[in-house]
Amino acid sequence: MTSFSRTTAMRPCWGMVVCVSLAGVGLCHAKSSSLAPPPAPQCAADAMHAAGYARSIMAVRQLPELDAWSRSHAFPVAFGESVDKQVVLDGQCYWSVSVFASRPERLELWNIFYVQSNGKRVLVQDPVSGDAISLEQWRTGAVRKLT
C-alpha cells in the first residue's frame, strides 16, 4: 500500500498501518496490532417482530418496579416496538425497550431499558443525563413516578 506524506518520522496511520516518509514519498505497511480495539458488533436490527426483542420485553416485565409502576395508575402498559432497536453499549449488543403508559390522548414514556442480547444484563436510561446506568444505580436514585 502506498501513501504520500510530508512527515519524516514513522507514525501510526489508522491504528493498523505504520507509515514512513523518505524524501517526500510515504510508504505504509499494514501491521497487525493487539492495541487496536476490536470492531464494534453489528447491532442495527429493528424490534418489529424480532424474537430477541420479545425476549427482552419478557426480561423487563419481570422487573418488580414495572409491576409496581403499572399498578400505580389505571393506564395500560405499552412497549415501543415501532421505535425500539438494537444498540451498541460498551461494545455489546442491547435491545432498547421503551415502556409507556398508554393514556387516551398520548403515550407517556416511563423508562427506556437496555437488555443485553443474551438477556443477562439490564440497564436503564438515566432520565437526566441520557446515559445507560445499571439497575442498582437506577434503583437507588431514579424517580419512577407517573407525572
Percentage, residues of the chain above pLDDT 90: 53
Do 59 and 126 belong together in one domain? Answer: yes
Q: Which amino acid is at 72?
A: S
Evaluate whether residue 15 is within a structural domain.
yes
Evaluate whether residue 6 is within a structural domain.
yes
Length of the chain: 147
Do 66 and 130 belong together in one domain? Answer: yes
The Cα–Cα gap between 56 and 92 comes to 15
Do 66 and 129 belong together in one domain? Answer: yes
Q: Which helix (H) or strand (E) holds 52?
A: helix 51-61
Do 95 and 26 belong together in one domain? Answer: no
Residue 14, number of CB atoms within 10 A of its CB: 9
In the block, cell 501491521 appears at 31
Give the pLDDT confidence score for residue 135 in this predicted structure: 94
Q: What is the pLDDT of residues 54-65, one digit of tens each?
A: 999 999 999 999
Residue 4 lies in domain: 1-35
**Mean pLDDT calculated for residue range 88-101:** 95
Evaluate whether residue 147 is within a structural domain.
no
The Cα–Cα gap between 101 and 143 comes to 16
Evaluate whether residue 97 is within a structural domain.
yes
Which letter does DSSP use for residue 74 in this model?
Answer: S
Evaluate whether residue 70 is within a structural domain.
yes
Beginning with the edge strand found earlier in the chain, give each strand of the sheet holding 17-22 in spatial order: 11-13, 17-22, 25-30
CA angle 125, 80, 107 (to 5 degrees): 95
What is the chain's mean pLDDT, rounded?
A: 78
Evaluate whether residue 42 is within a structural domain.
no
Evaluate whether residue 40 is within a structural domain.
no
> How many distinct structural domains can be found in the chain?
2
Q: Are 60 and 98 in contact (CB under 8 A)?
A: no
